[in-house]
Amino acid sequence: MATDPKRQRGRPKAFHDKTEQNTIQSLDRAMTVLAALAAHEGITLSDLAAEMGQSPATLYRVLTTLAQHRIAEFDEVQQLWHVGSGAFSIGSAFLRRSSVIERARPVLRQLMQDTGETANLGVESGAQVMFVSQVETHSTIRAFFPPGTLSPMHASGIGKALLAFWPDDRLQKWLRNQKLERFTGTTIMAAPALLAELRYIRSRGLAIDNEERTAGMRCVAAPVFNVFAEPVAGISVSGPVSRMDDANVARFGGLVRDAAVRLTEAVGGQNPVSAERR
C-alpha cells in the first residue's frame, strides 16, 4: 500500500481540521491562562479574571490545576500568581534547542577552568533569576544551583546584571511591584540604593553579589545580549568568600565579562557596553 508523501508521521489524518471537535477546550483554556500569566510579573486572581473576561472561580480551578504541576505558583504574602518553576522542567526540551543554552556550555566550561569556581548561566523568570545551566568546580566547598533553581533579582549577581540594562520604565514598574526582601546583612533593600548600584553596574558591565543572598558566598556576573542589545541571560562565577577575596573578585570580573562578550557574539547579539568600559 503506497504511503501518501504529504502525510507526516507526527500528524494524524485530521491535522488540518481546525474545528472545535479537534481541540480540547479545557487544555486550550489552560494554555491561554498560562500565556496571560507569563505576560505579567505576578498578577492577582481578580485582575487576571478581569483581563481575560473569565470568572475568578473558573480561573482559580485552572490555576490550582497548573499549580499541582508547579507550572503556576501562588505568592501567599503578595497574593499574586506567577508562572511556576515546573514550567522550566517541561520547557527544558526547548531550552536544549536554544542557541544561548547550547552555545553557553563551552563558555561555561572554560570559565570554570580559568577561575576554578562554579560557572553559571541564568535567565529572567518573572521577578526572579532561573539558573538553567552550570559547570561545577571540583572543589569540595562550592556553589550549587541545579537547573530550575530560582533566586531573587535584587539579591543575585545575574539578576542585578540583567536589571542594570532594563529600560528605565520597565525597571521603575518592577520596583513598584517588588518587595526587596532581606536575606543577609548586605542585601540591598532600599530602591534608591539599588538604583545607584545598577547605574554602577551598567557603567562597567559587571555585577557583584557580595553575600547578598547567602552569607559566606560571593558571585561575579555579566549580562548576555541579543541582537537588539537586550539582556537575555547572565553568566557568573560563584564561590565561598574564602576563595572569592577582593583580589580574585577583581581578576574573575574580567574573565566573566569576557565570557559574556563571547557568548553574546556567539548568538549574534549586540553588546551595548562600550570597549572603553571593558
DSSP 155: G
By DSSP bridging, strand 128-135 and strand 72-75 are unpaired
Q: What is the phi/psi pair of residue 262, to 5°?
A: -65, -40
Tell me the β-bridge partners of 240: 217
Structural domain harbouring 41: 20-84
Distance of alpha carbon 140 from alpha carbon 121, whole angstroms: 21
The answer to whether the beta carbons of residues 241 and 211 sit under 8 Å apart is yes
150 and 234 in a single domain? The answer is yes
96 and 191 in a single domain? The answer is yes
110 and 71 in a single domain? The answer is no
Please name the residue that has the C-alpha cell 568546580: 137
Q: Pick from 114, 122, 117: which is nearest to 135 by CA?
A: 117
What pTM was estimated for this model as a whole?
0.65
Tell me the β-bridge partners of 150: 130
Segment among 38-52, 137-151, 156-170, 210-224 with least mean pLDDT: 137-151
Distance of alpha carbon 85 from alpha carbon 15, whole angstroms: 31
235 within domain boundaries: yes
| pLDDT value at residue 21 | 53
Q: Using one digit for the tens of pLDDT, what is the confidence trace for 56-66?
A: 999 999 999 99
Distance of alpha carbon 28 from alpha carbon 228, whole angstroms: 32
Q: Which pLDDT band, with edges at 50, 70 and 90, does 11 fall under?
A: low
How far is C-alpha 186 from the geometric centre of its chain's CA atoms? 23
Q: Is 209 exposed, middle or buried (0-12, 13-18, 19+ CB in 10 A)?
A: buried
273 within domain boundaries: no
| pLDDT value at residue 6 | 47
Query: Which of 45, 62, 84 represents a domain boundary (last residue)?
Result: 84
159 and 233 in a single domain? The answer is yes
Q: Pick from 231, 222, 235, 227: which is nearest to 268 by CA?
A: 227
12 within domain boundaries: no
Distance of alpha carbon 29 from alpha carbon 59, whole angstroms: 9
**Amino acid type, 251:** R
